[in-house]
Structure 1
Amino acid sequence: MARATESLVRFQEQGVVLTDTEPLARLLMRSEAVASSRIEGLSVSAKRLMEHEALAEMGVRARLDSTEAAVLANIRAMHDHVFSVGPGDPVTLETLQRIDADLLKGGPLEGMGGIVRTEQNWIGGSALDPVGAAYVPPAPEDVPRLLDDLVRFCNSSPLPAVARAAIAHAQFETVHPFADGNGRTGRALALMVLRSGGLAGGAVPPISMAVASDRGTYIEALTSMRCEDPDGLRRAQDRYVAYWCGACADACALAASFEERVAELRASWEDRVRPRAGSAAELLLAVLPGTPVVSIQSAARLTARSREAARNAIAALVEAGVLVQNARNRKSNIFCADEVLDMFTLFERAGVTRGHDTAAARPGRAVPQRPERKGRR
Structure 2
Amino acid sequence: MDEDRILQWPRHGVETLPWQQQVRGGTREDRMMRFVDATIPPFIRELDYMPPLKVMLHTERALLAVAQADTDAEGHSAALSRFMVRSESAASSKIERINASARDYAKALAGNKGNTSATSMVAASAALHELITKVGESGRFELDYLMSAHRALMADDPQEADYAGHLRDMQNWIGGSDHSPRGALHVPPAPERVPELMDDLIAYLNRDDVPVMTQATIGHAQFESIHAFTDGNGRIGRALVSAVLRRRGVTRNAVVPLASGLLARRDDYFAALGSHRLGDPAPLIDLFALSTRAAAECSRETIARLKAMPALWAADLKPRANSAAAALIQAFYDHPVMSTDEIEATAGSPTAAYRAIDQLVDAGFIEEITGRKKDRVWAASEVMAELDDLDRHIQADMHEGKQG
TM-score (ref. length: structure 2): 0.78
SS in 2 for 1:156: coil
Instruction: Tell me the distance in 1 between the aligned counterparts of 2:315 and 2:356.
Output: 15
Query: Which residue among 55, 73, 81 is the counterpart of 2:123?
Result: 73
Aligned residue for 1:351, secondary structure, equals helix
Per-residue deviation, 1:65: 4.1
Distance 2:373 2:297 in 1: 38
Please tell me whether residue 172 in structure 1 is matched to residue 172 in structure 2.
Answer: no
Contact 1:23–1:287 at 8 Å: present in 2 too?
Answer: no
1:240: which partner in 2? 284
Q: Distance in 2 between matches of 1:30 and 1:207?
A: 12
Q: Report if the CA contact (8 A) 2:81-2:254 is conserved.
A: yes
Shift of 1:283: 2.9
1:3 pairs with 50, 61, 73, which one?
Answer: 61
Q: Spell out the pairing of 1:74-223 with structure 2 (5 A cutoff).
A: 74-86=124-136, 89-107=139-157, 108-223=159-274
1:364 alignment counterpart = none
> Do 1:28 and 1:204's aligned partners in 2 also have CA atoms closer than 8 Å?
yes
Contact kept, 8 Å, 1:20 with 1:203, in 2: the verdict is no
For 2:387 and 2:210, locate their aligned partners in 1 and report how far apart those are by CA, in whole Å.
Answer: 35
Larger radius of gyration: 2
Shift of 1:225: 0.8
Taking the aligned partners of 2:352 and 2:132, their CA distance within structure 1 comes to 34
Alignment match, 2:18? none
The answer to whether the 8 Å contact 1:170/1:225 transfers is yes
What is the one-letter code of the residue matched to 1:83? T
Change in 2 beyond 3 A, CA 1:280/1:160: farther
Q: In the alignment, which of 303, 308, 312 is matched to residue 259 of structure 1? A: 303
Counterpart position of 2:23: none
Q: Distance in 2 between matches of 1:115 and 1:16?
A: 35
- The verdict on how the C-alpha distance between 1:155 and 1:241 changes in structure 2, with shifts beyond 3 A counting, is same
2:79 aligns with 23
Question: Which stretch shows the higher mean deviation, 278-287 or 149-158?
Answer: 278-287
Aligned match for 2:100, one of 17, 37, 44? 44
Q: Which amino acid aligns with 1:336?
A: A
What displacement does 1:323 show? 2.4
Number of aligned pairs? 343
Alpha-carbon separation, structure 1, partners of 2:96 and 2:326: 39
Deviation at 1:275, TM superposition (A): 2.3
Cα 1:305–1:161, aligned 2, differ >3 Å: closer, same or farther? Answer: farther
Counterparts in 2 of 1:164 and 1:121: CA distance versus 1, 3 Å:
same
After the TM superposition, which residues 322-361 of structure 1 pair with which residues of structure 2 at under 5 Å, given as runs? 322-326=365-369, 328-355=371-398
Residues 122 and 319 (structure 1 numbering): CA distance in 2 closer, same or farther, change over 3 Å? Answer: closer
Task: Name the % identity.
Answer: 32
- Among 64, 71, 82, which residue is 2:114 paired with? 64
State the match for 2:356 in structure 1: 313
**CA-CA distance at 1:330 after TM superposition:** 4.3
Would the aligned equivalents of 1:165 and 1:189 in 2 still touch at CA under 8 Å? yes
TM-score (norm 1): 0.83
Bigger Cα displacement from structure 2, 44-53 vs 290-299: 290-299
* Unmatched runs of 5 consecutive residues or more in structure 2: 1-58
Cα deviation for residue 64 of structure 1 reads 2.3
Q: Report the secondary structure of 1:324's partner residue.
A: strand
Partner of 2:48: none
Residues 249 and 193 from structure 1, CA distance in 2 versus in 1: closer, same or farther, beyond 3 angstroms? same
User: For each residue in 1:314-362, what CA deviation from the matched residue of structure 2 results, as whole angstroms up to 9, or x when unmatched?
Assistant: 23323433223347234433333323333332223223333578xx99x
Give the 5 Å matches for 1:260-299: 260-299=304-343
Partner Cα separation in structure 2 for residue 170 and residue 6 of structure 1: 23
Tell me the distance in 2 between the aligned counterparts of 1:181 and 1:3: 30
In structure 2, C-alpha distance between the alignment counterparts of 1:65 and 1:335, rounded to whole Å: 17
One-letter code of the match for 2:301? Answer: S
- Partner deviation per Cα, 1:266-323 (whole Å, 9 max, x = no partner): 332111112233433223212323533323312245x484444433432332343322
| 1:318 aligned partner, one-letter code | V
- Paired residue secondary structure (1:183): helix
Q: Which residue of 1 aligns with 2:89?
A: 33
Instruction: Give yes or no for contact 1:33–1:75 (8 Å, CA) kept in 2.
Output: yes
Paired amino acid for 1:185: I
**CA distance change for structure 1 residues 326 and 126 in 2, over 3 Å: closer, same or farther?**
closer
SS of equivalent to 1:352: helix
CA distance in 2, matches of 1:306, 1:356: 50
CA contact (8 A) 1:154 1:168 kept: yes
| Displacement of 1:178 | 0.6
Offset at residue 258 of structure 1 (A): 0.8
Structure 1: which amino acid aligns with 2:89?
A
Contact 1:47 / 1:341 at 8 angstroms: preserved in 2? yes
Distance 1:80 1:280 in 2: 33
The alignment yields a C-alpha RMSD, in angstroms, of 2.4
1:134-172 CA-to-partner distances (Å, cap 9, x unmatched) read: 111112222111100100000124112222111111100
- Decide whether the 8 Å contact of 1:137 with 1:176 is kept in 2: yes
Contact 2:102 2:387 in 1 (8 A): yes
SS at 1:189 equivalent:
helix
